[in-house]
Amino acid sequence: MHLSLVRDILKCEVLCGEDQMDLGVITVLASDMMSDVLAFAEPGALLVTGLTNSQSVRTADIADAVAIVYIRGKRPDDATVALARQLSIPVLVTELGMVDTCRILSSEGLQGVC
């Protein structure tokens, strides 16, 4: 699934990486615990989280995640978005909660990592 479809079905605002919406998403990894993200990471995953600090971006980078979707309308600060831009990690924001986000992605055929 292309990131552009994720953006559309979750009604996301793109904070950075608008030019990367053609990236492919293979799986979903949804967690607010970055240690779980690192433990179960697979390349090509979409990180879905409510944790908006720079650690989420650094974790996505280490985990080789395609992009980050922040849930519940949470927005990272400017420094975190700048770090994501520097690391070429698209950042999206949806008003949906974790369960609804995962349900919608699953109904579109994306599987969870674990």
pLDDT of residue 22: 98
Classified by CATH at the fold level, domain 3-112 comes out as 3.40.1390
Domain ranges of the chain: 3-112
Q: How many CB atoms lie within 10 A of CB 88?
A: 13
Q: Residue 21 in contact with residue 6, Cβ under 8 Å?
A: no
pLDDT of residue 111: 86
pLDDT < 50 regions, the chain: none
pLDDT of residue 114: 56
CA-based nearest residue to 28, from 18, 16, 19, 37: 37
